[in-house]
Structure 1
Amino acid sequence: MTLQHQLLRPASRYFFSALQLYRAAFPAEEKVPLIWLLGRSLKAGVDFWAWHDGPAFVGLTFSVASRDLTYLIFLATSPSVRGQGFGSAILDRIAAQHAGRPLVLALEPQDQSAPNHRQRAARLRFYQRNGFSLQPFQVVDLGVAYDTMVRNGRFVPAQFDHLMRGYTGLAYPWYGSKIIAK
């Protein structure tokens, strides 16, 4: 495995592969417009990356970092490479790049009545195998509630709120995440 990453821009080699994966991997209510992701990724501490193994596209990530924590907003691997360790390798690389800071993510709650319950359970197990633990908080983004998980530390609501204010800027009153205790 020769895993590498490249900044995603419309002219980049993996842009259309990443765009196709982004569209397929996330439900409509979880996606933000691609133009938002591209615009935000121009800010310091915001990384929108295509991941590749040699010339083969394997996935994408979108993360936001502050001095206190890193929030992995999107992670998706190409269906053709799932189960081959690329997701775990990507998580390890992001954690290493942001060493000393908690790595936070949000995922769909475990709801037995959800039509994709098996997928949700599989995601939870994947993240737990990769060192993440569930936290006693939920984040509500754009009206959708997510459980929080963290690797290398704990979820601190005030730190998360600070990071999101910096990330969303003037859009915070509209986009801002609401943090609730479970």
Structure 2
Amino acid sequence: MDILNANQKPWKEIKEIYIEAFPKSERKPFFTVRRSVNKGKALLLTAMENEALRGFVLVIPYKNMVMVDYLAVSSKTRSRGTGSKIMQEVCRYFPGKKIVLLIERPDDTAENKDQRIARRRFYFQNGFTSSNIYITGRSGNMEILNFGGAVSKQEYMEVQQYALGKLMFRLSGIRLAV
């Protein structure tokens, strides 16, 4: 499997995996994802095997940090190490940078409780730790994980505002949770 920053992106397949992997409440309009990549604000790495897309990661470099905006693996390929290979490549691609991402906050009453636990375990097995920072917004209650150094509340809010843009950040309702 190759993790590539290819010039020609398989956008149709990326969109299919994107829609399959994320609930509507967590998805940005897909045209904004493409625009961020095309303008150079975001970097999209694809996991290709035998010329087929197996997964992708969308990252947003900002100052001394890199925010993992989306990591998705095709349902046909899950549980085969694809996600771990992608995350290892992200960590190699950005040496010396703090890597941050959001996951749904653990919640014993959540419908997808097991999925949340599995997702958290996946990131911890790949070297991420909890920042002990939580946010809330239109996407729900989220926990911030980091790799390569702890991120502060202020740093996280800055990278999130940069990623979304000032207007979308305000509309997202993102704020620090207690």
Which of 168, 171, 175 is equivalent to 1:174? 171
Cα distance, 1:73–1:42 mapped onto 2, change above 3 Å:
same
Give the CA deviation at 1:177: 3.2
* Partner residue in 2 for 1:3: 2
Give the distance between the partners of 2:109 and 2:173, measured in 1 at CA. 28
Does 2:52 align with 1:56? yes
Unmatched segments (≥5 aa) in structure 2: none
Q: CA RMSD in A?
A: 2.0
The share of aligned pairs that are identical, in percent, is: 21
Q: What is the TM-score when the length of structure 1 is the normalising length?
A: 0.87
Matched-pair contact (CA < 8 Å) for 1:168–1:176: no
Alpha-carbon displacement from aligned partner over 1:68-87 (angstroms, at most 9, x marks no partner): 21110110111222122111
* Partner residue in 1 for 2:78: 82
Does 2:93 align with 1:97? yes
* Partner residue in 2 for 1:125: 121
Unmatched segments (≥5 aa) in structure 1: none
| Code of the aligned partner of 1:48 | L
Which of 49, 68, 78 is equivalent to 2:64? 68
Give the distance between the partners of 1:13 and 1:76, measured in 2 at CA. 15
* Partner residue in 2 for 1:108: 104
Cα distance, 1:179–1:4 mapped onto 2, change above 3 Å:
same
Matched-pair contact (CA < 8 Å) for 1:3–1:54: no
Give the distance between the partners of 2:69 and 2:49, measured in 1 at CA. 22
Matched-pair contact (CA < 8 Å) for 2:105–2:143: yes
